[in-house]
Amino acid sequence: MDEGINYVRSDFVVEARRITEGHGVDVIVDSVGGKTLQGSINALAYRGRCVTVGDAGRSAVEALDISSMRPNNQTLCGYFLGAELFLSGRAHDLISTLLQRVSSGDLQVVIDRTFPLSEAAAAHAYIESRQAFGRVLLVP
């Protein structure tokens, strides 16, 4: 990733166009879904690809306007890690590589907050508030 945009604080479609000097984004991985997925499609470059990987925003699914995708040769595809874990060994290899990189210190995991296990409900509420930046851990 070259640039990051906080979609809660700014219009990420406008910011994406500004950062790319009007070009748009080549690849977007959208884990929020809902209205944000439409914005992701709108921020795509010519021949851009949007991969939807979840619905973390918890907003209702809405009809998508994909009318700009065909003339811009854009693609929208979905990815579900759960299926990969059951149907393919590839995901296991990728996860193993990531864990090795974390273990060696080559890849840093951002930990936002830790909660004692006795405060699991508070930890879940914090995650659902969408305030977390990084991982939230429960500590036994």
pLDDT in tens, 10-61: 999 999 999 999 999 999 999 888 888 999 999 999 999 999 998 876 777 6
pLDDT tens, position by position, 76-128: 999 988 888 888 778 888 889 999 999 999 999 899 999 999 999 999 999 98
Please report the domains of the chain, with CATH numbers, ordered by start residue. Answer: 1-88 (3.40.50.720)
Report the interhelical angle of 34-42 vs 12-19 (nearest 10°): 20
Task: With 0.85 as the threshold, say if the pTM is over it.
Answer: no
CB 79 within 8 A of CB 50: no
CB 38 within 8 A of CB 64: yes
The SS3 of residue 95 is helix
